[in-house]
Structures are given as structure tokens and as C-alpha cells.
């Protein structure tokens, strides 16, 4: 009979969990190229591969975003004008992490109230994403908000937020719109797919219990 240990030694190892790998490379120099109202542009010279590389990027404070679902699994979408893409695109409530000492969850709760005058009794971390890792260091933390109710007070909105359009759309229809190419916002896409998978797993676990 074949030796069990010897047989097992020839088996491939199970795949490791995939994960992004943080790397701290020596930064030879870092210059502020442009200081903006919301974010800056930096030019870094980095030691890499036996030499150096120079990379310009947007130095971003990060953001928090909200996937809000009602009791019928409809997803809250907002539409507003975005000048760089010359579109009024469909998005989820989101905002910068620009309040000192404020945790991402607190930012998400604040943005839900400020942009759509809603509060939520249930909050769960959903997913965090790098939006454009080749061009900026922005990370967006998305949260799933449920058990919604009107916020304690309404908020005045200015500029692009002054004419925000709000729609409640079945989550399945949002996913279909993304796959059909009608909805192209990256944060919306990540949030919708993550929420759909979260609900699918919850239903699967409920059916199996």
C-alpha cells in the first residue's frame, strides 16, 4: 500500500486567501505640486527596483459611502452633476473623511443625514475599496444601512447637491443596470454587488438552518 504521508506530500497546497499587500518603499522626496480646496497633488520620487521612479498622484483624504436598503431591498440612489465626467451619474450617499477625529462610520452616518435627510438604526461595514490606485490614494469605506427613518433635522444643500435627485430602486435592478452599462459609478458598483452578495449569503444561511 502507498505510504499515506508520501501520497499527501504530492498534493498541491490549498490556495491562500488573496489579499492586497502593503509595501513601504523609501520615499526619496515628496513635493506638493498643487494644493487644492478638497485634495492635493504630490510628486514622489521612490526607491524601486534598484533605482528610482517618479509618480504624481492625488493625495486624497478618503471617503465614506452608504448602501441604504429599505425593507423591500430597494437601494437608495442619488443623482447629481459631476463636472469631470460631464454626467449626472447615479451614486450612493458619500462624503470625504475631512472632519478631524471622525471615524468612517460616523462620516457615513453624517453623510446619509446631510445628503438625503435619513438616519439608520442598523449599520454594518460592507466593503472598502481603492478607487483609482494608479492615480490617487483614495480609500472609500462602504457601509450597509438598514432600518431607516427620517433624520432629526433636514439640511440645506448647495452647488451640485442643491438639485440631487433621489430614487429607491430594487437592488436586483441596480445590478442589472450596472451589468448593462447604464450605471458606471465605481463606488455604486462595488456597493451594489457587495450588498447583493451579503443578502444572498444571509438567505442561504437562513435556508440551511
The residues annotated with a catalytic role in the active site are 161
- The answer to whether the beta carbons of residues 45 and 25 sit under 8 Å apart is no
> What is the Cα–Cα distance from 53 to 43, expressed in whole angstroms?
10
Q: Which helix (H) or strand (E) holds 51?
A: strand 51-59
Location of C-alpha cell 458606471:
184
> What is the Cα–Cα distance from 79 to 167, expressed in whole angstroms?
8
C-alpha cell at 51: 533605482
CA distances, 185 to each of 26, 35, 52, 91, 195 (Å): 34, 26, 34, 6, 15
> Pairing relation of β-strands 87-91 and 74-82?
antiparallel
Amino acid at each position: 500500500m502507498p505510504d499515506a504521508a508520501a501520497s499527501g506530500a504530492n498534493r498541491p497546497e490549498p490556495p491562500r486567501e488573496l489579499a492586497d499587500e502593503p509595501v513601504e518603499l523609501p520615499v526619496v522626496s515628496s513635493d506638493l505640486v498643487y494644493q487644492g480646496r478638497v485634495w492635493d497633488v504630490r510628486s514622489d520620487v521612490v526607491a524601486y527596483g534598484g533605482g528610482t521612479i517618479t509618480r504624481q498622484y492625488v493625495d486624497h483624504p478618503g471617503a465614506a459611502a452608504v448602501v441604504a436598503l429599505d425593507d423591500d431591498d430597494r437601494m437608495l440612489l442619488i443623482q447629481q452633476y459631476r463636472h469631470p465626467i460631464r454626467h449626472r451619474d447615479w451614486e450612493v450617499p458619500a462624503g470625504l473623511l475631512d472632519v478631524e477625529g471622525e471615524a468612517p462610520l460616523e462620516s457615513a452616518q453624517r453623510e446619509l443625514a446631510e445628503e438625503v435627510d435619513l438616519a439608520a438604526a442598523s449599520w454594518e461595514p460592507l466593503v472598502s475599496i481603492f478607487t483609482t490606485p494608479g492615480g490617487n490614494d483614495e480609500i472609500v469605506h462602504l457601509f450597509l444601512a438598514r432600518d431607516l427613518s427620517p433624520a432629526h433635522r433636514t439640511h440645506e444643500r448647495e452647488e451640485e447637491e442643491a438639485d440631487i435627485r433621489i430614487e429607491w430602486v430594487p437592488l436586483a435592478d441596480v445590478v442589472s443596470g450596472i451589468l448593462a452599462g447604464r450605471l458606471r459609478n465605481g463606488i455604486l458598483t462595488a456597493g451594489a454587488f457587495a450588498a447583493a452578495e451579503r443578502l444572498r449569503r444571509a438567505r442561504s444561511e437562513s435556508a440551511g438552518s
